[in-house]
């Protein structure tokens, strides 16, 4: 087959890479990923434009896929470790997706972590689910402090402005830490849970473009999120 661009996103590294390959089967795609230095060990392959999962190395890659009123051969693969064990149980990533959607926590996750729930670590999703369930019995206790509101009204606008903290963001340091995390993860010096937690603290939003990719992806983060919403239906 004629060479085509394939976008690859990894939920482990939060990176979006683009490779150009004539691969026709999953086995051939894996060889192309090896050449590009993209890890897929123990991960599940989902293709976004066709909304399918490829399980066998002999699986044929989709082609001439209908997409937004046209046909495309520029595929998008999400690599995700769906069977990862978590502290609170054996819930898979797909199960966590389904639970987040069933409990209508998509907006809550985005508000807390600053990104779509499909881009958060499984542990963070489980934590959000556990917290959501745990807050229901304590709802009445939270209402008690409302009686103290009159005292808060005494604050003047000037005092409020003076007390407002100023966030200082060192972009160079943040980038350096992010690159260090990637290096430690690649060398197996840092597990995926800790790497995900550090990336969340750094405030990474969306997938980072892989600097080694020669071509840019034709798909935005929103496009990719929409493609893979079938994972949590």
Q: What is the CATH number of the domain that holds 61?
A: 2.40.240.130
**pLDDT on residue 125:** 83
> Is residue 75 domain-shared with residue 106, that is, in the same domain?
no
User: Does some domain include residue 136?
Assistant: yes
> Is residue 2 domain-shared with residue 74, that is, in the same domain?
yes
For residue 218, the tally of other CB atoms under 10 A from its CB is 12
**pLDDT on residue 160:** 44
> Is residue 112 domain-shared with residue 130, that is, in the same domain?
yes
Secondary structure (3-state) at 14:
coil
CA 188 remoteness from chain centre:
20
Instruction: Provide the number of structural domains found in the chain.
Output: 3
CA 44 remoteness from chain centre:
14
User: Does some domain include residue 225?
Assistant: no
> Is residue 22 domain-shared with residue 55, that is, in the same domain?
yes
**pLDDT on residue 198:** 74
> Is residue 12 domain-shared with residue 48, that is, in the same domain?
yes
Tokens of 136: 């229901």
User: Does some domain include residue 174?
Assistant: yes
For residue 80, the tally of other CB atoms under 10 A from its CB is 23
> Is residue 135 domain-shared with residue 206, that is, in the same domain?
no
User: Does some domain include residue 224?
Assistant: no
**pLDDT on residue 139:** 34
> Is residue 76 domain-shared with residue 95, that is, in the same domain?
no
Mean pLDDT of residues grouped by 10 in the chain (233 residues)? Answer: 91 86 96 94 92 94 94 94 47 72 83 87 82 46 49 50 49 71 73 66 57 74 86 64
> Is residue 76 domain-shared with residue 107, that is, in the same domain?
no
User: Does some domain include residue 155?
Assistant: no
> Is residue 35 domain-shared with residue 103, that is, in the same domain?
no
The sign of the dihedral angle between the CA atoms of 139, 144, 147, 153 is: negative
- The answer to whether the pTM exceeds 0.75 is no
- Say which residue the tokens 């597990």 belong to: 191
User: Does some domain include residue 223?
Assistant: no
User: Does some domain include residue 154?
Assistant: no
**pLDDT on residue 11:** 79
**pLDDT on residue 141:** 35
> Is residue 2 domain-shared with residue 77, that is, in the same domain?
yes
> For residue 52, what is the DSSP state?
E
User: Does some domain include residue 157?
Assistant: no
Q: Which domain holds residue 176?
A: 169-210
């Amino acid at each position: 087959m004629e060479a085509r661009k394939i976008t690859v996103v990894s939920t482990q590294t939060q990176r979006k890479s683009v490779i150009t390959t004539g691969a026709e089967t999953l086995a051939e795609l894996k060889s192309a990923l090896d050449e590009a230095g993209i890890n897929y060990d123990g991960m599940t392959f989902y293709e976004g434009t066709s909304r399918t999962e490829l399980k066998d190395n002999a699986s044929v890659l989709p082609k001439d896929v209908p997409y937004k009123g046209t046909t495309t051969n520029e595929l998008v693969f999400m690599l995700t470790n769906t069977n990862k064990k978590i502290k609170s149980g054996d819930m898979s990533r797909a199960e966590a997706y389904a639970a987040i959607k069933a409990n209508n926590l998509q907006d809550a996750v985005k508000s807390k972590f600053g990104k779509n729930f499909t881009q958060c670590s499984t542990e963070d999703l489980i934590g959000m689910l556990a917290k959501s369930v745990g807050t229901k019995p304590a709802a009445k206790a939270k209402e008690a402090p409302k009686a103290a509101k009159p005292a808060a009204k005494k604050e003047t606008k000037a005092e409020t402005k003076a007390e407002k903290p100023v966030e200082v963001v060192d972009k160079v340091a943040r980038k350096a830490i992010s690159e260090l995390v990637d290096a430690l993860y690649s060398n197996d010096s840092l597990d995926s849970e800790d790497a995900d937690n550090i990336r969340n603290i750094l405030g990474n939003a969306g997938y980072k473009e892989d600097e080694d990719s020669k071509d840019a992806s034709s798909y935005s983060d929103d496009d990719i999120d929409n493609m893979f919403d079938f994972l949590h239906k």
